[in-house]
Amino acid sequence: MVLSHSRYKYAIWSDKPFTTQTFIDAHNKAFEYFGGMPVEIVYDQDKLAAVDENYGDIIYTEGFQYFIDIMKFKVYMCRKGDPETKGKVEAVVKYLKYGFADHRTFYDIDSFNDDCIKWLERTGNAKVHEVTKKIPAEVFEFERQHLRPAPQIFDNTNNKDSLTYTVRKNNTVLYKQNRYQVPKGTYTPGKTVELILNGNEIDIVDAGTGEVIVHHKLSTKKGELVKISHPERDRSKSIDEVYKRALEVLGEDDNARILLDNIRKEKSRYAKDQFKLIIDAVEKVNSDIVKYAVNYCVNRELWSAVLFKDTVEYLKLEIENQKDRKNILSQISISSKYYGVKPEIRSINDYINALKEDNTKWKN
C-alpha cells in the first residue's frame, strides 16, 4: 500500500496465497503502520476484493464488503486492462521485489516481514523519490494529519473480529512496529494469537483456546522490545529454596551437597533450572536408585542435571529388565519327577584321563 501524495509505503509478505481474511488483515496492519486510513483506496480488480463488475457496479466479496461497511472508506476499482490508474502501486511492487527481496536470504516469513519494515524505514521511505524528488517520510509528516482514524476493533475483549498475529520464532509478536515478548516455548510453526487492547494495556490471547498468554503495557514508541521478566523461568521461589528442595529429595547427604554445589558453580546462569530438573527426575524413584545416581555423578565429576537424569533413567531400566528376567524364570514349569534330582559330580581326573591319548588297539 502506498499513499498517493507522499509515496509513503507499507508492505507485508506471505508464504501462502492470500485469502480475503488475510487481505483484510493486511489492510488493518497498514492502517496501524500509517496511524490512520485514507478517505479513498484504489484497487485493481482482484478476486479477493471483487467478484464481478456489472456495467460499473462492482460486486464485492462478502468479507470485503463487510470490511468496507465497518471501515467506511471509499473504493475506487480500476477497470480491467487499465494499467495507468494503478501505476503507483505497481511501481512499488517492482521496487520491493528488486530493491528489497532480490538476493535476500529467506529464513522464515516473520523475520522476512520484520526485515522489510526495517528496510522501509531505512531505505524505502527514507530516500528521495525519483518522481517527486522528495523524501516520503518527510512529506508523510504533513500528509498524516489528513488521514482518518481507523475504527478501533480491539476495544472489547469479547469482540471476535480482533486481528490475528503470528508468533515469531524468537517468541515475540510484532504490533505497530514494536515487539511484544511472550513466554518461552509459545512459538510453534503457524502459532497465531489475538491482540486485545484495553486503554494503554494489551492482552496477547491464544487464538485457539482464548487463554490470555501474557499482559503488557502498550508501547507508544517504535522499534521497542517489550519484555516480560524471565519468561522461561518460575521466579516465585528463590534459587536457594529450590536448592533446599533438591537437596531434600536427594537425601541431604554429603555427596548430594557436593553435586548441587558444583552444578550451581558450573552452571550458575541455569542453576535453578538444573535443580528443578533434578527434582522432577527423582519423583517417584526408589531412594536407593537416587543415592546410587548421586554417587555415580560425584565419583565421575558429572556436574549436570541432564547427566544425573540419564543415570536415573538407566538404573530404572536395568531394574525393570532384571524383574522381567525373574518373571520369565518363575514361569518355567519343571516336571515333578525332576524335583530333588541333583546332577552327578565327577572328579576332574575323569576328564583328564579322557583327554589323554588312547593307545588301545581295536579288533574287527
What's the pLDDT at 98? 92
> CB of 6 within 8 A of CB of 136?
yes
The 8-class DSSP code of residue 35 comes to: T
- If you write DSSP's letter for every residue of 249-301 in order, what string do you get? HTTSSHHHHHHHHHHHHHTGGGHHHHHHHHHHHTTT--HHHHHHHHHHHHHTT
What's the pLDDT at 154? 42
Domain boundaries of the chain, sorted by first residue:
20-146, 164-226, 239-330
Alpha carbon distance, N-terminus to C-terminus of the chain: 113
What's the pLDDT at 11? 94
Q: How far is CA 172 from CA 167, 184, 335, in A?
A: 6, 9, 71
Separation CA 89–CA 68 (nearest Å): 20
Which residue intervals of the chain are DSSP H helices?
Answer: 20-34, 62-71, 87-95, 109-119, 136-143, 239-249, 254-266, 271-281, 287-299, 305-330, 348-355
Mind listing the pLDDT tens digit of every residue in the chain (364 residues)?
999 899 999 999 988 888 888 888 899 899 989 988 999 998 887 777 777 665 556 777 778 888 888 888 888 887 766 666 677 888 889 999 999 998 888 888 888 999 999 999 999 998 998 888 999 999 998 898 889 888 765 433 344 445 678 888 888 988 877 889 988 878 887 788 888 877 788 888 887 777 788 888 888 887 788 888 654 444 444 678 888 899 999 988 899 999 999 998 887 767 888 888 899 888 888 888 899 989 999 998 989 888 999 988 888 888 877 766 666 656 656 666 666 666 777 777 877 777 776 666 655 5
Q: Looking only at Cα atoms, what is the longest distance across the chain?
A: 128
> How many CB atoms are located within 10 Å of the residue 25 CB?
17
Separation CA 258–CA 252 (nearest Å): 10
Contacting residues for 247 by C-beta, under 8 A, at least 6 apart: 256, 257, 260
CATH 3.40.1000 matches 20-146: no
What's the pLDDT at 339? 60
Q: Kindly report the CA angle at 37 between 25 and 10, in degrees rounded to 5?
A: 60
> CB of 31 within 8 A of CB of 40?
no
> CB of 100 within 8 A of CB of 92?
no
And the C-alpha cell for 348? 576332574
Q: What residues pair up with 226 in beta bridges, in sequence order? A: 180
Q: Kindly report the CA angle at 60 between 59 and 65, in degrees rounded to 5?
A: 130
Reduced to 3 states (helix: H, G, I; strand: E, B; else coil), residue 50 is strand
